Structure 1
């Protein structure tokens, strides 16, 4: 099992700084996805917070209290669980351009911050405050970006 980086970001802006640094300095992947694929995935997952999630993602809304108690504490740990399958709509394609996806993720973060009003209920955790939903997306970014190591200069 590969040793992954321990990453924690205070906010999504720090995650954007990290993806830009990885792109600028080069990176080595210790996982299955490239920087571009991770950025596309983060964008795909984050965008519905503003635009709304597909209706089918609310079918298990009755499980949200249990998910908050069981899964949320695990996601807050630096060694958050690996291998949790994601919905196919959030899986990035095999071939993406790192530069384009880094900038798309940065624009997505800007759009997230510019949003006024409530965010869409999270499929697993339900309605959350602005700070809570940013925390979820920040934890998610750290979870995936820990699989990328900066290249040595």
Structure 2
């Protein structure tokens, strides 16, 4: 099993900066996705916090208290679980361009930060404060970006 980097971001701006840094320095993937694919995935997952998630993602809302107790602590660990399947709408295509996706992720972060209203309830964890939802997305970014080893 490949040793992955340990990453922790104070906020999403740090995650966007890490993506830019990897683009500049070069990277070697230790997982299934490129930098561009990871950035597309991160944008696809965090944009619904502003725009709203598909209604079908609320079908299991009754499980949110259990997910907060069981899954949330695991996500907060530096060795967050690998291999958790995501909904197909959040899976990035193979043919993305790193530079475009890093830029799109940075734009998504700015959009997230400039949002004035409440964020949409998270499908697994429900309604969260601005601080909590940014923590979730920052943890998610660290989870995925740890699979890229910086070159040089």
TM-score of the two chains, using structure 1 as the length reference: 0.99
Q: How much does 1:119 deviate?
A: 0.2
Q: How much does 1:117 deviate?
A: 1.2
| Cα RMSD after superposing both structures | 0.3
Aligned position for 2:78: 78
The aligned runs of 1:64-143 (5 Å cut-off) are: 64-143=64-143
Q: How much does 1:41 deviate?
A: 0.1
Unaligned runs of 5+ in 2: none
Q: Output the CA distance in 2 between the equivalents of 1:14 and 1:116.
A: 21
Unaligned runs of 5+ in 1: none
Which aligned segments of 4 or more residues in structure 1 are displaced greater than 6 angstroms? none
Q: How much does 1:22 deviate?
A: 0.2
C-alpha distance after superposition, 1:91-138 (max 9, x if no partner): 000110000000000000000000001000000000000000000000
The aligned runs of 1:8-47 (5 Å cut-off) are: 8-47=8-47
TM-score of the two chains, using structure 2 as the length reference: 1.00
Q: Please state whether the residue corresponding to 1:110 is helix, strand or coil.
A: helix
